[in-house]
Amino acid sequence: MCGIAGLFRPHVAATTEDVAAVQRMLRAQIHRGPDGEGLLAPTSQVVFGHRRLAIIDRSEAGQQPMSNEDGTVWITYNGEIYNFAALRAELTQRGHTFRSGTDTEVIVHGYEEWGIDGVLARLQGMFAFALYDARPRPGQGEATGGQLILARDRMGIKPLYYARLGNGEGLIFASEVKALRASGMVSEDRDRDALAGFLLLGSIPAPRTMLRHVASLPAGQYLMVHDGEPRCHTYWNPSIPRGDCAPPLSLVELGHLLEASTARHLLSQVPLGVFLSGGVDSAGLVALACRAQSAPVRTLTVGYGEEDGGESRAARTMAAHFQTDHREVFVRESDFLRELPNIFAALDQPTNDGVNTYFVAQAARATGLTVALSGLGADEVFWGYRHYRWLAKQPSRWLTMLPSFFRQALANGVSAYGGFVGQERWQRFAYLNGGPTGRELYLLIRGFFAPAQIQQLLGLSANAREAMVEQVVPHGESQDEQQRFNDIEMRRYLHDQLLRDADVLGMTHSIEVRVPYLDHTVVEAVRRMAASDKMDPRENKPVLVRALGDEMVRKASQQPKRGFTVPMQSWMLRYADELESLALRATSVDREAVRVLWRQFRAGRLHWSRAWALTVLGAIG
């Protein structure tokens, strides 16, 4: 896990100021790579920078930027390729020479051998990299300049942001938006549509960022630029049927896939552990890790408040069952107050959560870990949320049967009731005014602020707010209602919030967070399974539970959902004056609307995450 940065000018030579800009971006990402720094300008067109968190081949041979044998292909890379040993063996047989034991070098030689589409199709892991190819392209002649490729893993676990330089003179990139801002070469103009998306969804909807001229490279895509316009290419999309139309796997076969994925994710030359909350996701991960190695698995639980709380007891029981090397860290209210400035400083973009991830990563570092396995993504992949059971009743079918005037009257009436009793989940029924499509159902269930609240915060008309919804929320590509919802949830909640927070706040403490449930082989296999197999009223995530075949995991699936839960409501109320004053600093939203919403939070009529989101906007600008 690392931080990368760089700059590419296809038509003119990079300048000393360009080099200085990349150096500033590296300084802004020291936390992502405390083990070393590399800066290189292999040709006059390009400057590559790298901050290193050494996980595999921790020797000097693993320093980046790195090249092929003759220095014509260069890379700066962030991530882990779990099948790199097998790819290395194949490439060695094909005549490639390796100078290190890193996975980085495998990407370089794989690109030489198979091209960008070929190497990306073979990589198993999480990654974001920039690759510069100085070789003349076929039919273009010797005088043609090189080309830059930016690429990102299938699920978007690792981030990569970029911006066009003025007058089409090139492109600049980094692992964090903050790093691009530090370069001094990116406009600070804010993206109002991104802000609207944040209020609508609770996170900035990719590819937008808080800055108008900075974009996130989408998951499963690569960007190529040489002497023309940058062009994005999709190399993986879970909603596109695979060419072989493979039949659904059996539970036994899925169990083998999960075991193989977890075994790959355990590869490390530094201390590694597993986050254990006592819930089904983390219990399943510990069960899989124990099968993959003979030594005791290191596990970590983070508790909030009482040391004998329910989560801690459940995790302790689970750790004893699997005979893990278990550690517990407890976070107090005083820790929350002390760390607030650091939490805000760590955020790369606005988020409605993140506090939990910050403290869990901090605890991992304090207990000596560098790599941690997380159960993140299991709820999305295995349909662990309750709303999938409701969607199985096909609510859009009966809503569509209602006359439009009656449906709108119903939506407005329920929304008005929600405003009267102070329940924003009922206020979100106003989204159904646009019709009971997959998008509107998603906003009903997963939307953040209610329509009227967004209009007040941004001074928008209803028509302008509806137009904004059209821009930032996709319809979903499947004909099946549950799968269509899942398509949106994977993109807007898993990618834009959960994975982004895990990366940014994990790397704040130089912790590499790995997510075995999001191995693309697992995601593809579960997607092919029937919807009815993924739900059972008696247990949560039945496909996962039955594929693992572990009694302790089965028992966990029959208990209420568990996670590392921060008591944000009570802590925020304790320091409400200070937090509201921060929220009122925000210049991008209406101050009076902020005051109204904070009054509602203090009165118990607004969920804490909405008040926290407003505070984040004021704190990070």
- Asked which of 57-61, 111-115, 197-201 is least confident by mean pLDDT, the reply is 57-61
The letter for the amino acid at 265 is H
User: What pLDDT, on the 0 to 100 scale, is given for residue 440?
Assistant: 85
Average pLDDT, the chain: 90
User: What pLDDT, on the 0 to 100 scale, is given for residue 64?
Assistant: 86
CA distances (Å), 73 to each of 105, 152, 588, in order?
Answer: 11, 18, 44
User: What pLDDT, on the 0 to 100 scale, is given for residue 140?
Assistant: 56
Is the pLDDT assigned to residue 383 strictly greater than 80? yes
User: What pLDDT, on the 0 to 100 scale, is given for residue 11?
Assistant: 87
From edge to edge, which strands make up the β-sheet containing 272-275?
A: 325-331, 298-304, 272-275, 371-373, 512-514
How many percent of the chain have pLDDT more than 70?
Answer: 94
User: What pLDDT, on the 0 to 100 scale, is given for residue 481?
Assistant: 80
User: What pLDDT, on the 0 to 100 scale, is given for residue 59?
Assistant: 73
Instruction: Over range 496-521, report the average pLDDT.
Output: 97
Q: Are 289 and 326 in contact (CB under 8 A)?
A: no
**What is the pTM (predicted TM-score) of this model?**
0.94
For the record, the structure tokens of 91 come out as 């490439």
Q: Are strands 371-373 and 272-275 parallel, antiparallel or unpaired?
A: parallel
Is the pLDDT assigned to residue 243 strictly greater than 70? no
User: What pLDDT, on the 0 to 100 scale, is given for residue 572?
Assistant: 96
Beta strands in 176-324 (DSSP E): 214-216, 221-225, 231-234, 272-275, 298-304
Q: Are 237 and 490 in contact (CB under 8 A)?
A: no
- Asked which of 341-355, 473-487, 517-531 is least confident by mean pLDDT, the reply is 473-487
Task: Give the H/E segment covering residue 73.
Answer: strand 73-81
Q: Which of 352, 26, 348 is nearest to 214 (CA)?
A: 348
Q: Which of 474, 572, 487 is nearest to 523 (CA)?
A: 487
Domains of the chain: 2-234 (3.60.20.10)
CA dist., res. 445 & res. 391, Å (int): 10
Residue pLDDT, tens place only, 440-493? 889 988 999 999 999 999 998 888 888 888 888 877 666 778 888 999 999 999
Question: Which span out of 225-239, 451-465, 570-584 was modeled with the highest average pLDDT?
Answer: 570-584
DSSP string, 143-195: T---EEEEEE-TT--S--EEEEPGGG--EEEESSHHHHHHHT-S---B-HHHH
β-sheet bridge partners, residue 97? none
Is the pLDDT assigned to residue 1 strictly greater than 70? no
For the record, the structure tokens of 380 come out as 């999305």
Residue pLDDT, tens place only, 530-543? 988 998 888 899 99
- Asked which of 246-255, 478-487, 494-503, 536-545 is least confident by mean pLDDT, the reply is 478-487
Give Cα 276 distance to the centre of its chain.
20
CA dist., res. 384 & res. 41, Å (int): 48
Q: Which of 448, 441, 466 is nearest to 202 (CA)?
A: 448
At residue 538, the 3 state secondary structure works out as: coil
User: What pLDDT, on the 0 to 100 scale, is given for residue 219?
Assistant: 97
CA distances (Å), 257 to each of 123, 261, 263, 271, 516, in order?
Answer: 16, 6, 10, 24, 10
Q: Are 164 and 223 in contact (CB under 8 A)?
A: no
Is the pLDDT assigned to residue 144 strictly greater than 60? no
Report the chain's terminal Cα–Cα distance, integer Å: 28
CA distances (Å), 593 to each of 393, 451, 453, 506, in order?
Answer: 37, 13, 8, 33
- Asked which of 46-55, 194-203, 243-252, 284-293 is least confident by mean pLDDT, the reply is 243-252
β-sheet bridge partners, residue 351? 203
CA dist., res. 527 & res. 530, Å (int): 8
Query: Phi first, then psi: what are they for 150, rounded to 5°?
Result: -105, 135
Question: Which span out of 29-38, 125-134, 241-250, 526-535 was modeled with the highest average pLDDT?
Answer: 125-134
Is the pLDDT assigned to residue 307 strictly greater than 70? no
DSSP 8-state secondary structure symbol assigned to residue 60: G
Q: Are 370 and 55 in contact (CB under 8 A)?
A: yes
CA distances (Å), 508 to each of 3, 32, 113, 346, in order?
Answer: 11, 7, 36, 6
378 band by pLDDT with thresholds 50, 70 and 90:
very high
Residue pLDDT, tens place only, 7-44? 999 988 899 999 999 999 999 999 999 988 999 888 88
User: What pLDDT, on the 0 to 100 scale, is given for residue 486?
Assistant: 92
Is the pLDDT assigned to residue 246 strictly greater than 70? no
User: What pLDDT, on the 0 to 100 scale, is given for residue 43?
Assistant: 83
DSSP string, 231-245: EEEE---TTSPPTT-
User: What pLDDT, on the 0 to 100 scale, is given for residue 202?
Assistant: 95
DSSP 8-state secondary structure symbol assigned to residue 449: S
**Cβ neighbours of residue 442 closer than 8 Å, sequence gap 6 or more:** 473, 476, 485, 488, 489, 492
551 band by pLDDT with thresholds 50, 70 and 90:
very high
User: What pLDDT, on the 0 to 100 scale, is given for residue 136?
Assistant: 81
How many percent of the chain have pLDDT more than 90?
Answer: 69
Is the pLDDT assigned to residue 502 strictly greater than 60? yes
Q: Are 553 and 545 in contact (CB under 8 A)?
A: yes
Beta strands in 427-503 (DSSP E): none
β-sheet bridge partners, residue 232? 223
Is the pLDDT assigned to residue 403 strictly greater than 90? no
